Amino acid sequence: MSDRPVNTAHAIAIPAPRPTIWMIVLCAIAAALGLSGCSPQSGAPVTQPARTSTPAPASGPSATNPSVALAPSGAGTKNLSASTTTTTPGATAAPADLSKGPNGMELATFGAGCFWGVEHVLRQQPGVIDAVSGYSGGASANPTYEQVCSGRSGHVEVVQVTFDPKKLSYDQVLSVFFRLHNPTQVNGQGPDIGDQYRSVIFYQSEAQKTGAEKLIADLTAAKKFKRPIATTVEPFAKFWPAEEYHQKYYQRKGTEPYCHVLRADY
């Protein structure tokens, strides 16, 4: 420590010793890290600016209201409870709306036996923009026709419909779906037997799910069919277009479906 007398002009401060190269280096590092109020040039103490707000307790939030955190001066306070989402144990988030097509169109996906006939009938309905044969419901990507026909891939032959909701409602599309096939046949349609030919509605939004379940309930209550409806309502995951030679099959062949005919009533 220095033996120089105390500077009476600054009686509350003890003069700092002459800085060495190590003091300068250490002060520079400390200043860069915000750990010291020491100036690397002089080694003398510097005055820290006064805080403009009351420091928060060690736990962070206000002690009087745990949902309110202290904010910087002039910024006001923010209620964290208003921006925090609480998840109820066991609850599931609403599924994404996958029914939105291009240019305001809507998408719907159905399985009702061999997709050739389903596509042919749906394509003829006013308001339908397109109908594509494909596969859905399985776990593997890009399934082939042979894989689906084996009955081991888990996929179903389906048709994805693009329609104009201003001209044709989803409920009307559902009505066509139930009238073009036999929804009471389990795991098959006509001569086509197997899980890949089952009757299924892959809903792509909560509104579609609600509409499908309501129509099935109404048809059941009205006893429109002699046997129970076997159609399942399942969440849509992915649609894989079928091979090109399946598309517009009857249109290209110039013939009519062998087991899909649109009935006037259910």
Residues involved in catalysis: 114
Q: Identify the CA nearest to 92 among candidates 250, 206, 184, 3.
A: 206
Q: How many CA atoms lie within 13 A of 126 on its CB side?
A: 2
Contact status, residue 136 vs residue 236, Cβ threshold 8 Å: yes
Would you report the helix, strand and coil content of the chain in percent, each value rounded to 5?
Answer: 25, 20, 55
Q: For 134-140, which contacts have Cβ atoms below 8 Å and span 24 or more sequence positions?
A: 134/158, 134/159, 134/160, 134/239, 134/240, 134/241, 134/242, 135/239, 135/240, 135/242, 136/109, 136/111, 136/160, 136/202, 136/236, 136/237, 136/238, 136/239, 136/240, 137/111, 137/200, 137/202, 137/234, 137/237
Residue 241 CA to residue 79 CA, distance in Å, equals: 49
From residue 23, alpha-carbon distances to 1, 3, 35 in Å are 15, 20, 14
